[in-house]
Amino acid sequence: DQQVKQNSPSLSVQEGRISILNCDYTNSMFDYFLWYKKYPAEGPTFLISISSIKDKNEDGRFTVFLNKSAKHLSLHIVPSQPGDSAVYFCAARQTGANSKLTFGKGITLSVRP
């Protein structure tokens, strides 16, 4: 049973436009959510996170939105740049559960010049 779902395997956007990456979760005990970016043959790089007490967190071009009632979060990248092309993983954790992260399957973002 997959507790963190990234239902779209890929997304292609034009440079300069907004990229919206979606993530759904089923475990209502999750209270901290993270987005990681990964290039091939490298480890994931932390991008941005959000606690369940917030509904929005912004860092430069990256904004994460959390809708707890819908168990849904999204990552907005604006403006998108070719260097943003990578695999993006959504992850969630539950406080007290030894800080284990549960990852989605990832979404491949391609930003066209």
Partner 1 sequence: GAVVSQHPSRVICKSGTSVKIECRSLDFQATTMFWYRQFPKQSLMLMATSNEGSKATYEQGVEKDKFLINHASLTLSTLTVTSAHPEDSSFYICSAMDRLADQPQHFGDGTRLSIL
- Could you give the CA distance from residue 81 to residue 109 in angstroms, rounded to a whole number? 11
Q: How far is the CB of 80 from partner 1 (least distance, A)?
A: 22
Q: How far is the CB of 75 from partner 1 (least distance, A)?
A: 14
Q: Is 91 exposed, middle or buried (0-12, 13-18, 19+ CB in 10 A)?
A: buried
Which of 105, 110, 82 shows the shortest CA–CA distance to 3?
Answer: 105
Is the Cβ of residue 44 or residue 77 nearer to partner 1 in the bound state? 44
Q: How far is the CB of 5 from partner 1 (least distance, A)?
A: 10
Is the Cβ of residue 46 or residue 67 nearer to partner 1 in the bound state? 46
- Kindly list the residues in this chain that would bind partner 1 in the complex (CB under 8 A): 32, 34, 36, 41-46, 49, 51, 89, 98-106
Q: Is 106 left (phi over 0), alpha (psi -120 to 50) or beta?
A: left
Is the Cβ of residue 15 or residue 49 nearer to partner 1 in the bound state? 49
- Could you give the CA distance from residue 107 to residue 90 in angstroms, rounded to a whole number? 9
Is the Cβ of residue 9 or residue 82 nearer to partner 1 in the bound state? 9
Q: How far is the CB of 46 from partner 1 (least distance, A)?
A: 5
